[in-house]
């Protein structure tokens, strides 16, 4: 993959930055697979696949530690400035969000493995629909990072509002069901927590999109109104 990184006199420095970003994308690929398999495991009540997903979380944690070490080593060795320092800072934030996405995926799968029953299938259809939205959002933000595309990252940023609306709709439906049948409350709460995990994954994807914009444009757009983010994207850095 041709990563758009500023070139340096030191070819080794270029390689270190490229390797670091490649490791982030590798980590993201594992997380993407984990989300996809989690949705399959829930839809098909597949306990073996659920166990595999939970075990896979160790690989994600290992990648976070590896990339953290690479960031620290490059800072100590190269004393980077400007865009190089931005890249390292953004990478450190991105991998933290990737690791937390992995954690949320495991929480969702554990709830499904232990408590979901076939009579919750009507709710799991909605959960899967929301899950596919979240998976598409994750794929898009990973692609924006790989292509160093701030406009694409902003499109991901805007996708979170749709995830929030899906979450609110499913939550209202589940609350209504629990009021109608109080005996179902323990089971339905597990569906609700799984839905909440998906909503949090959407939030993390939005965080990553903000980090990608920061990396490319040099502006921290967290807690920033959409019109101001658009102004940042329109500016030349």
Superfamily in which the 11-234 domain is placed by CATH: Phosphate transport system protein phou homolog 2; domain 2 (1.20.58.220)
Please report the DSSP string for the chain in residue order.
--------S-HHHHHHHHHHHHHHHHHHHHHHHHHHHHHHHHHHT-HHHHHHHHHHHHHHHHHHHHHHHHHHHHHHHH---HHHHHHHHHHHHHHHHHHHHHHHHHHHHHHHHHH--GGGHHHHHHHHHHHHHHHHHHHHHHHHHHTT-HHHHHHHHHHHHHHHHHHHHHHHHHHHHHHH-GGGHHHHHHHHHHHHHHHHHHHHHHHHHHHHHHHHHS---TT--HHHHHHHHHS--
**What does pTM read for this prediction?**
0.91
Q: Percent of the chain beyond pLDDT 70?
A: 91
Return the domain boundaries, the chain: 11-234
pLDDT at 1: 36
pLDDT at 153: 97
- Span 136-160, pLDDT tens digits: 999 999 999 999 999 999 999 999 9
- Span 27-68, pLDDT tens digits: 999 999 999 999 999 888 888 899 999 999 999 999 999 999
pLDDT at 3: 44
């Amino acid at each position: 993959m041709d990563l758009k990184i500023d070139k340096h006199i030191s070819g080794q420095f270029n390689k270190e930055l490229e390797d670091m970003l490649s490791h982030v994308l590798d980590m993201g690929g594992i997380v993407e697979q984990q989300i996809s398999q989690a949705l399959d495991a829930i839809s098909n009540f597949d306990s073996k696949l659920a166990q595999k997903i939970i075990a896979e979380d160790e690989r994600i944690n290992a990648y976070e530690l590896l990339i953290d070490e690479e960031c620290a080593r490059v800072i100590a060795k190269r004393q980077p400035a400007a865009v190089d320092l931005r890249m390292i800072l953004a990478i450190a934030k991105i991998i933290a969000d990737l690791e937390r996405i992995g954690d949320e995926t495991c929480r969702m799968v554990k709830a499904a493995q232990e408590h979901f029953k076939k009579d919750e299938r009507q709710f799991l259809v909605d959960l899967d629909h929301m899950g596919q939205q979240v998976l598409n959002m994750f794929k898009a933000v990973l692609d924006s990072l790989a292509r160093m595309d701030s406009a694409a990252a902003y499109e991901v940023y805007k996708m979170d509002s749709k995830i929030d609306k899906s979450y609110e709709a499913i939550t209202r439906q589940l609350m209504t069901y629990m009021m109608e049948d109080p005996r179902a409350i323990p089971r339905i709460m597990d569906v609700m927590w799984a839905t909440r995990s998906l909503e949090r994954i959407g939030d993390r994807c939005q965080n990553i999109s903000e980090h990608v914009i920061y990396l490319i444009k040099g502006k921290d757009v967290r807690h920033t109104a959409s019109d101001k983010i658009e102004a940042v994207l329109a500016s030349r850095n």
